[in-house]
Amino acid sequence: MCRSLHVWAEVPPAGLVIPQLGEITFRNEGEFGTLAERYLEDEAGREAMAKTIREVVLRKFSYTARWESFLRSIYGGMKMAAGATVGSGALV
């Protein structure tokens, strides 16, 4: 794979990107029931959690964010290649 395209494969685990994920995930039916009751009874908490996660998703995973990351990666690769070419004495 082209070095600059590794940006698409560099998505960290969801728990690292969204630290609050542990507060809304469940492993079984009982945990789901507890969380469902908690968030159904707490509209402000539910809205705050949704807002926080939405902001992370838009900042890290929106089309615009991924495209900007891709372009930064290409730019960095081009700068590195240009520096290596110029530094090696080869003609650019």
Token pair 């902001």 is found at 55
Q: Greater confidence, 31 or 89?
A: 31
The 10s digit of each residue's pLDDT in 37-73 is 999 999 999 999 999 999 998 888 888 988 888 888 8
Q: Where in the chain are the domains? A: 15-61, 62-92
Nearby residues of 65 by Cβ (< 8 Å), 6 or more positions away? 58, 59
CA gap 49, 22 in Å, rounded? 12
Confidence band, pLDDT 50/70/90 cuts, at residue 91: very low
The 10s digit of each residue's pLDDT in 4-43 is 456 556 677 888 888 898 999 999 999 999 999 999 999 9
pLDDT at 69: 83
Distances 92 to 2, 12, 46, 83, 86 between C-alpha atoms, Å: 20, 36, 56, 10, 7
